[in-house]
Amino acid sequence: MKVLVTGANGYLGAGVVKQLLDDGVEVVATDFRSDFIDSRAEIKEGNLFELDDPYTFFGKPDVVLHMAWRDGFKHASLNHINDLPSHYDFLSKMAHAGVKRICALGSMHEIGFFEGSIDENTPCHPQSLYGISKNALREALALLCKECEVEYQWIRGFYIVGTSTHGSSIFAKIAQAAQDGKTEFPFTMGLNQFDFTDYDEFCKQVAAVTEQDDVLGVINCCSGRPMTLAQRVEKFIEENNYNIKLLYGQFPDRPYDSKAIWGNDFKIQVIMDKRK
């Protein structure tokens, strides 16, 4: 199997590329830069949206794992809407040229305001430009793959916990603050409950989804259980022995964040169980 990973130099992309390579998969990795890409991969720097025939350019991969996406943590960025046609055009070229399977990274922000466990049948009412754009690509890609008879997988990611400062998540910001010697960190009240997955586990789950074609469609990569943001951040600080105190109530919760939302992990557990 040859897998093309787009966005391979990103916070998540770099970890997934490494996991795929560790699993013995042939990887073609592409991004604007390659600072964080495992050197075992075949690396191609550049703008994939400018290619007339990306399928041939990337060596006719069996699977494309589309992780490329800019401003992922800036949910109001106009780039989400502006880039959407380019994402679809690239995936359309791959589908029509002959790629066997398209696996794309989505987000729980496609769902919008919802309380409880979500699965592939949960209605989507996104409330940010990021969520709207991801959801639009999901729906368009499902139609495209059906039309071209290409296998379709949509990985719905939740909240990823990692110690890298290469990223814009709350955990990356705390890691950066600790590295800078700060002892206080302004925070919300942290009462919202989310689904958290450790970085390495998330990369294993994404790789596992990509390496199989028995389970298709929308697949939650998640832990399957909720935890308050405050509990997980306090645990994160303790796990890494950071000398940082959270200043609760300094920032308001985002109005579009659900009070309690987590993923149904049935499909990902079926996939992970087959790897054992």
Note the pLDDT tens digit of each residue in 205-250: 999 999 999 999 999 999 999 999 999 999 999 999 999 999 999 9
pLDDT score recorded for residue 163: 85
Q: Which of 53, 58, 50 lies closest to 30 in space, CA to CA? A: 58
pLDDT score recorded for residue 197: 97
| Tens digits of residue pLDDT in 131-168 | 999 999 999 999 999 999 999 999 999 999 998 877 67
Q: How far apart are CA 195 and CA 161, in angstroms?
A: 10
Q: How far from each other are the two terminal CA atoms of the chain, in whole angstroms?
A: 20
pLDDT score recorded for residue 164: 83
Q: What percent of the chain has pLDDT over 90?
A: 91
The residue segments making up the domain with residue 182 are 162-193+226-247
3 state DSSP class of 204:
helix
pLDDT score recorded for residue 254: 81
Same domain, 141 and 32: yes
Q: How far apart are CA 178 and CA 172, in angstroms?
A: 10
Tracing tokens 């199997």 back to the chain, one arrives at: 1
Same domain, 152 and 101: yes
What's the burial of 227, exposed, middle or buried (CB within 10 Å: 0-12/13-18/19+)?
Answer: middle
Same domain, 114 and 201: yes
Q: Do the beta carbons of residue 156 and residue 110 sit within 8 Å?
A: yes
Tracing tokens 């800036």 back to the chain, one arrives at: 74
- Concerning whether 11 is annotated as a catalytic residue, the answer is no
pLDDT score recorded for residue 253: 84
pLDDT score recorded for residue 6: 98
Q: Is 55 inside any structural domain?
A: yes
Mean pLDDT of 69-92: 96
Query: In the chain, how many domains are there?
Result: 2
Summary mean pLDDT of the chain: 96
Mean pLDDT of 260-272: 97
Same domain, 45 and 172: no
pLDDT score recorded for residue 135: 98
pLDDT score recorded for residue 190: 94
pLDDT score recorded for residue 166: 72
Q: Does pTM surpass 0.85? A: yes
pLDDT score recorded for residue 192: 94
Q: Is 252 inside any structural domain?
A: no
Name the catalytic one among 130, 152, 159, 242: 130
Query: 78-84 — which CB contacts under 8 Å span 24+ positions?
Result: 78/129, 80/129, 80/130, 80/132, 80/133, 80/134, 81/129, 81/132, 81/133, 83/133, 84/133, 84/136, 84/137
Classify residue 128 by its DSSP letter.
Answer: S
